[in-house]
Each structure stands twice: as C-alpha cells, then as structure tokens.
Amino acid sequence: MSSHKGSVVAQGNGTPASNRENDTVELAELGPLLEEKGKRTIANPTKTEDEQTCPVPQEEEEEVRVLTLPLQAHHAMEKMEEFVYKVWEGRWRVIPYDVLPDWLKDNDYLLHGHRPPMPSFRACFKSIFRIHTETGNIWTHLLGFVLFLFLGILTMLRPNMYFMAPLQEKVVFGMFFLGAVLCLSFSWLFHTVYCHSEKVSRTFSKLDYSGIALLIMGSFVPWLYYSFYCSPQPRLIYLSIVCVLGISAIIVAQWDRFATPKHRQTRAVPVSSDFPRLGGSSSLRPLLWGLQPAGIPLWPGRWLY
C-alpha cells in the first residue's frame, strides 16, 4: 500500500514536481530582475509623487519674481522721471524779473518775460523757439553767424585773379571774418544757455566779451591794411596798438570778479573806452594819416586829434 501510494503520489505528482523545480529555477534566475523591477516600480511612484509635490520650481519662480520686482520698479521710476522731465521741459513759463535768482538778474530794465533757471542744455536750446527776453538776441546773432560764415567761405574760395596780392588779402579778410564768426557764435550761445546755471552763465559770458574784442580786432585789420597800403610802418604800429588793447580787454573779461551782473558796466569799459581811443571818432586818424601824402587838406579832422 505504501509503495502503491508512493507510486501513485509519484505518478500523480511527477509532472508538478518537475514544474516546481523549473519554476524555482526560473524564479531563482529572474529573482534579481524582479527585485530591480520592483525597486524601479517602487521608486517610480516616489519620483512621480516628488515631481508632483516638489517645491523647487515654485521656489525658482518666486526667486525670479523677487528679482524682477525691483527691476520693474526701477524702470517704472525711470519712466516716471522721464515723463515728469518732459512735461516740465515742454511747459515752462516765463517769469518776472523779481522771481529770478541773483545770478540771472542782469538787466533790471526788463521786468517780464524771463526764462526760469533750466539746468538742461536740451531745454535751453529748445527755448530758442519760444518767446522770451533773449529770443531777439539769439536769432539775430545766430543768423549773423550763418551769414558771415557763408561770406567768409565764399571769399576764401574766390580765385586769385580777384586780388592784387592774393595771399595777403586773403589773410586780411580771413582775420575779419574769423573775428565776426567767433563773436556771433559766442554771443548766440551765451544768450541761449546763460540760464542753465551760474557756472555756465559766467563761462559763456566771458566768451561773449572775448568775442566782442576779437571782432573789433578783426575789423581793424582790413581798415588799417588798406589805409596804410603804401606805408607799412604806421600800419604795423596801429595794428600793434589794436592787438594790445584787444588782448587787455580779453584778460579783463576773464576775471571772475567782473563776471557778475554787478560789474556789467565795468566789463564794458575795455570795449567801449579803450577801443574808441583808437577806434570810434579817433579811427579816422589812420585814414587822415594815409590821405595826407596825397595832398588832401586835413583841417576837418584837426578837432579829432
């Protein structure tokens, strides 16, 4: 019975036993793979959960927002300042003389229509197209500057056949046009930007008076050249005197002590006093001196001496 049962059991369980052995072998071989797969399957849900619940991207976004907020505020402030500046620059109004600061009170006879202090060269140059106390000064000197610049270039480009002594005469006329161009350019720039600030006003005021002296010096050159065309010695003497007086006027104009509106008349002394001693009524002396050898009577000019 026992042997029969064992056979029966062996016969009944033969196939399953072999299958079990095969299954155990396969499981043993596939064990590491299954474990790795299981780890992967176990790890993947955590990854997905971490990806779903990971706060790192949010922190980065918050950091980006925190960084961009000051930049946006800075740009907004710049745009606001630019807007306010443009509004102030385009809508300034003329003010009366009493409201002006001391460094802008140059002419107490003009009671209304003055520009306010404008610390911007752009605003100063835009004021050229507005009506105020300096509009006439700016445009008359600016148009004169353009005119004399054009005439000077035209004269220098003329052929030599139009001159008796081409080199000398071109130098003579060049000195005249150079003085006129410098004087007019300094003048219209001064009247344009003198309301910028006290420092700019004083600097261009010095250039303005220096330009006047240069114009007077340059205008005497052709006058003396043709008055003493045949007398080089007196011509040199008069030219030297003119140069000395002109340089002295420029030096006086550069002193800060005389750059204030208080000393406006003092600054005008070298221009209105020293030069007329040679120029003005006394400027006829070179002409009379030059005409004397020609036999022309000089009695009308005796009172000038």
Cα 148 to Cα 177: distance, rounded to the nearest angstrom: 6
Which residues sit in the known binding site?
191
Cβ atoms of 174 and 149 closer than 8 Å: no
Which of the residue ranges 115-119, 202-206, 217-221, 250-254 would you say has the lowest mean pLDDT? Answer: 250-254
pLDDT mean over 214-230: 92
pLDDT of residue 57: 54
Give residue 295's region: left, alpha or beta (phi > 0; psi -120 to 50): left
**In a domain? residue 201:** yes
**In a domain? residue 89:** no
Handedness of CA 78, 80, 82, 85 (dihedral sign): negative
pLDDT of residue 128: 94
pLDDT of residue 147: 96
**In a domain? residue 193:** yes
Q: Which two tokens stand for residue 182?
A: 């410098």
Quick check: helix, strand or coil at residue 113? coil
**In a domain? residue 78:** no
Cβ atoms of 121 and 193 closer than 8 Å: yes
pLDDT mean over 212-233: 91
Range of the domain at 248: 97-304
**In a domain? residue 45:** no
Quick check: helix, strand or coil at residue 3? helix
Into how many domains does the chain fold? 1
pLDDT tens column, 77-100:
776 666 545 545 557 899 999 999
**In a domain? residue 22:** no
Helix (H) or strand (E) holding 262: none
Which of the residue ranges 118-122, 179-183, 244-248, 249-253 would you say has the lowest mean pLDDT? Answer: 249-253
**Closest by Cα among 134, 258, 266 to 187:** 134
**In a domain? residue 272:** yes
Which residues sit in the known binding site for Zn(2+)?
191
pLDDT(152) > 80: yes
| Residue with the larger pLDDT of the pair 304 and 60 | 60
Handedness of CA 52, 55, 59, 65 (dihedral sign): positive
Q: How does DSSP classify residue 115? A: P
| Residue with the larger pLDDT of the pair 30 and 202 | 202
Average of per-residue pLDDT values in the chain? 74
